[in-house]
Amino acid sequence: MVFQADKMRYQSMQYRRCGQSGLKLPAISLGLWHNFGDTTLIDTSRQLLHRAFELGITHFDLANNYGPPPGSAESNFGRILQEDFLPYRDELIISTKAGYTMWDGPYGDWGSRKYLIASLDQSLKRMGLEYVDIFYHHRPDPETPLRETMKALDHVVRQGKALYVGLSNYPAELARQAIEILDDLGTPCLIHQPKYSMFERAPEQSLLSVLQEKGVGCIPFSPLAGGQLTDRYLNGIPADSRAASGSRFLNPDHITEEKISQVRELNALAESRGQKLSQMALAWVLRHDAVTTVLIGASKTAQIEDAVGTLNNLHFSADELSAIDAILNRTK
């Protein structure tokens, strides 16, 4: 059956202007880091994308190394795009990145002009696209001159292979330098993608203010701290959880009794707001004026529905924010 999107898909989603650009992004964006590689049934990935789009999520975020294995998320997304979403291509914001190891040898990693341009060409081929809407440098390269990396981003825009460019994982001062180089080249930085959540507040120290000053949008990833800011860990570490599996992204040693106590207190506060903990955590990230959209992952359509439900209550009272700070600032 040919996919036909819900005609009411734009009624409940909020769209926010990205920095000082002309582009608006949905307040909730879908990341394809996990659950879209070859270890996931293609029909499961298809259902997630369908439901997201029907709820007004127009932004799908990928990277060259997403899978597993690396590259498979783009290939599977490309298949679903060609089979289901091609009539809606102009309604979609599709992003990808390069910056982590993708192939053997000296040209398959980091931030050289050679790597970035070759990687984007590979990504476009996997997805069956002529261009992506946003192309990111995924992480800073300590050895390649920053100007070379930024000139590569400028080049792919001038080639028509990307409409906008962005940064990811750049600390504040390096982000400032990169943004200024891109401005000088005539290809403004659209957006920055940092790790930001209640449990990861480093961007508040200076990065978010830099982005506001420079008119650059912000799309935080891992807003639920790898699942810690959900109801998954209210009673300890479940046997089927990411922490229990020994994931390098969530060490079970990090799920301390103190952390579980904090999660329980945050959950009680969320319930008093009429929200799930995950919804309050997303709303808390979205509260910041510098944040354009928040990036979620999902393995079930219900998780996408819950995330979009966050938009029913984005307001925090001063007392609620103080209570959250008190919980988070308690000795870990």
* pLDDT at position 241 over 80: no
pLDDT at 217 over 70: yes
Contact present, 219 and 191 (Cβ < 8 Å):
yes
CATH of the domain at 176: 3.20.20.100
Residue 283 lies in a domain: no
Judge whether 117 lies within some domain.
Answer: yes
Q: How many domains would you assign to the chain?
A: 1
Report how far residue 13's alpha carbon sits from residue 163's, in angstroms, rounded to the nearest whole number: 23
Tell me whether strands 189-193 and 15-17 are parallel, antiparallel or unpaired: unpaired
Alpha carbon distance 23, 211 (integer Å): 16
Q: Is residue 64 part of a domain?
A: yes
> In this structure, is residue 292 part of a structural domain?
yes
pTM (predicted TM-score) = 0.95
pLDDT in tens, 280-302: 999 999 999 999 999 999 999 99
245 found inside a domain: no
Among 63-67, 126-130, 210-214, 245-249, which is the least confidently predicted range?
A: 245-249
- 239 within some domain: no
- For residues 66 and 226, what is the distance between their CA atoms, to the nearest angstrom? 16
pLDDT in tens, 301-310: 999 999 999 9
Is 126's pLDDT higher than 90?
A: yes
CB atoms within 10 A of CB 195: 15
Q: Which domain holds residue 70?
A: 15-229+288-299
* Per-residue model confidence (pLDDT) at position 2: 86
In the prediction, which pLDDT does 1 show? 72
pLDDT (tens digit per residue) in 7-52: 999 998 999 999 999 999 999 999 999 899 999 999 999 999 999 9
